[in-house]
Copies of this chain bind each other. A is one copy, B any other.
């Protein structure tokens, strides 16, 4: 799998060595002498890749960078690679979502295996997210009124019930509902509900029963 590997390490000779090994394996590589350099240069974020991160680096530490990236919504998987490893640090890193935690010196087998797994994870997460984004974008095109109708319809309300709740005529709801189906490109109520369920709308339904 091709991909851009971001290497963060303060040891210039180590960076060069790792870069050489990765490039030899067919990866693109970007190196950074500190966490701040990566934060400053971090380009797209949407491109397939992963971060190879040392723990002890001047300025922001590895785990601190991990937290920062998580805050700003980065989805680049992180593989720690450090010589100063202790159990609590590694456990915290993994629990915080790091993809792997390797120790120097690292065999090429270990390194490339971890990178490959991280890229695979990133790939899977990206495709998952892009599907969601498409749906969310469509939902975002709904007008406020349409969105209200949408919310009630996917909970099993009939046009009549929606009309009562929103204080409008059944005919009006029918019109909104029609536009909703159109904008979200679905042909049936079942599809509409599926879509809503997958987009994370419809978190919890308790009293959905219709009082027919």
Contacts and interface: CB of A to CB of B under 8 A. Distances in A.
> Interface residues of A toward B: which range?
20 to 34
Contacts of A103: 87-88
A49 to B, nearest CB: 21
> How many subunits of this chain does the assembly comprise?
2
B191 A208 contact: yes
Interface stretch (A10-18, A30-38, A40-48, A150-158): A150-158
A127 interface: no
Interface in A37-82: none
Given A88-B103, A101-B91, A197-B198, A190 B188 contact: no
A187 B209 contact: yes
12 contacts: A87-B90, A88-B103, A90-B90, A94-B95, A155-B190, A188-B208, A189-B190, A190-B208, A193-B194, A193-B197, A194-B205, A194-B208
Q: 4 shortest A-B CB distances, which residue pairs? A: A156-B188, A156-B190, A193-B193, A197-B197
